[in-house]
Structure formats: C-alpha cells, structure tokens
Structure 1
Amino acid sequence: MAARHRTRWATGGAALALGLSAALTGCGGDGSPADAASRAQSAVGSIASEAGEAVESATAEARQRLDDIQDGVDATDDVTAGRPVTGSDGRVRTELTARNTDDSSRSFAVQVDFRDAGGQLVDTVIVTVEHVQPGHSATATARSTHDLSGEVRTEVARAVRY
C-alpha cells in the first residue's frame, strides 16, 4: 500500500500578490503614457525583486526545517520527481517516488524546487511521504504554491529520511 503525503510547509505567493496590487494601485506622476510606462517598469522590477526575495526566504526556511529533523539521514538519491504537469488551476504538480532502503518503516521530508526555462528558482515546497515500509516505495504529489507559467522543471533539491 502506498503511503500518502501531506504538505508540511510551502512558500506562498502572498508577497508577490501584495507587491503587484500595491504597484498597480500606486498614484503620482504627471499621468502621461511615458510616466505610466516608467512607473509600470519600476513596479515590475520591484515585484520581481520581492518575488525573488520571497523565494530565497522560502528556500532558507525549507533548508532550516530539514536541518531540524531529528535523526534524519540524507535520502536525496532515494527520491525521484516525475514529469511536471500544469493543472487547469495554473499550479504545477509532480509525482514524487520515495524508496525506503532502510530495514524499518521510515518517513521522508522532501524539498522540491520549481524552476523556469532559464533555471531560475520560482517556487519551493516541502512534502512529506509518511510510513514507507522497508524495501518499498511510496508516492506523493508536490504542488506549486501559486500559478507558474511557461516551461517549468521540477527537481528534488533535498530529501531527508527519518
């Protein structure tokens, strides 16, 4: 029987959404098309910066959470990610397979990174795969925390067996 998973922790797109709404509702300037274009360009740069900072922060948080697992063993080589698929909701999903090579039942905490076509990190999540029996594999689904457009690749950044 395959173990089920639960999302343990995930980064959100809230910072991006807040930055976008703040940038789009801003006032000022002379109201000309050139001024509007300049403000839009500045807003896009600001939003991209905030989104990048949010992903960096989430990655650091994920790293810390995995480091905090008591008696955890690096199991990155025992977890694989399938082909990413974008759902009708815009979220990207990938199936994870965790193989338990230990001699007792174990669980896995897996950090999955979502990258755009250029290799830029655009999201990260942690998924748990619980109670995998010795010598067996179990699957779980990693899902992006917000809509991702274009080509997206997924990778197992880190996995801890405990």
Structure 2
Amino acid sequence: MAGQWMRGAAGTVLAVVVGVAAAGCSDGSGKGSGAASKAASAASSLASKGADVLASASAEAGRKLGEIKNGVNAKEDVKLGSPATDGDGRAAVKVTARNTADSAKSFAVQVNFTDPSGNLLDVVVVTVDNVAAGATGDATATSNRKLTGDVRAAVGRAVRH
C-alpha cells in the first residue's frame, strides 16, 4: 500500500495579490485609497502566510525523507507520468520506481508540483512499498489541494530503503 505525507500551500496567493493590487490603484495623487491600501496590506499578509505554508510543506517533506535510515539516493530510478486533475480538482501523477537492488526495497519520493515557470505550488511525499528486486512499483502522488492551470510535476528527491 502506498502512503502519502502531504502539505500544501496557497498557490493562488500571487493571483490574489495581483488582483488586489490592481484594484488598489492610486488616484493620481501618489496615495491609494484607504480601502485599497488596507486590501493591499491584507493581500501582502496573505502572500506572506502562503509562502510560510509552502516553506513549511517543503521542510516537512525534507524531514520525512531525512527520517529514513540507511536510504540511498534513487532519484534516477524514479519516473513521473503526466499530471492530470482528479475528480476533486487535485493534481495527480503516477510515480514509478525501478528497484535496481538485489532485494526488495521501498521508496520515498518527494514530488514537487509547479507552474510552467517553475514556481512551487505544492509538495507531496509518496511511498512505493516493497518493490521486488529488478522490478518496478507504482504509486500516485496527489496534491494536497486543488491546483489550476498548467501544473507540472518533478521529482524533488527520492530515497530507496
């Protein structure tokens, strides 16, 4: 059974910040309206919190991978399919791990969901358990929340243990 540790972040924060900033244009005097200024401040705070959540998710993924004892780098042995949107609007991608060891091994794989510019939208760690020697095993990495637009997926780290 494949397990999954997930933490998500507000990837739409940038759109909110841009939208609020556009709504808060100045009146030509160099000063924005009070409401627009408050909205811009709130958006800035939201963006900061979104960045904090994403940093926390990345740190949690690193912590989970760091807990694995006697693991070896297996990034080259892991391939991802193309991300698709599941019925809940979350991004999902097939993870295939190839075991090149001479005994059964498990894999922990950090999947980074990004936009086309490489901006991190979500981080997920998925396990591929008990892959026989010389065989491949599959799991599905699913984003923690709905992701919209052109979502990409990349292996951040992979550990065989």
Q: TM-score, normalised by structure 1?
A: 0.80
**Pairing 1:6–2:8 present:** no
TM-score (norm 2): 0.81
Partners of 2:39 and 2:126 lie apart in 1 by 36
d(CA) in 2 for partners of 1:89, 1:144: 10
1:141 & 1:79 partners in 2: Cα distance?
12
Structure 1: runs of 5+ lacking an equivalent: 21-32
Residues 2 and 139 of structure 2 are in contact (CA less than 8 Å); yes or no, is this contact kept in structure 1?
A: yes
Is the partner of 1:154 in helix, strand or coil? strand
Quote the Cα distance in structure 1 between the aligned partners of 2:77 and 2:119. Answer: 25
Q: What is the one-letter code of the residue matched to 2:126? A: V
Name the aligned partner's letter for residue 104 of structure 2: S
State the superposition RMSD in angstroms.
2.2
What is the rounded CA distance, in whole Å, between the counterparts of 1:13 and 1:61 in structure 2?
A: 12
| Structure 1 residue 13: Cα displacement | 4.7
Question: In structure 2, what is the equivalent of residue 86 of structure 1?
Answer: 85
Partner of 1:114: 113
Structure 1 residues 149, 42: CA separation in 2 closer, same or farther (over 3 Å shift)? farther
Residue equivalent to 1:136: 135
Contact 2:9 2:51 in 1 (8 A): no
CA shift digits 1:84-142 (9 cap, x unpaired): 11224221000000000000000000000111122111110110000000111011100
Q: Which moved more, 1:44-53 or 1:67-76?
A: 44-53
Instruction: Give the drift of 1:35.
Output: 3.1
Equivalent runs, 1:9-158 vs 2, <5 Å? 9-13=5-9, 34-158=33-157
**Residue aligned with 2:144, SS:** coil
**Bigger Cα displacement from structure 2, 66-75 vs 38-47:** 38-47
Classify the secondary structure of the residue corresponding to 1:150: coil
Q: Conserved in 1, the CA contact under 8 Å of 2:8 and 2:123?
A: no
Q: Count the aligned residue pairs.
A: 143
Q: Is contact 2:61–2:110 with CA below 8 Å preserved after alignment?
A: yes
Shift of 1:36: 3.0
C-alpha separation in 2, matches of 1:123 and 1:43: 22
Q: Secondary structure at the match of 1:5?
A: coil
**Identity rate, percent:** 47
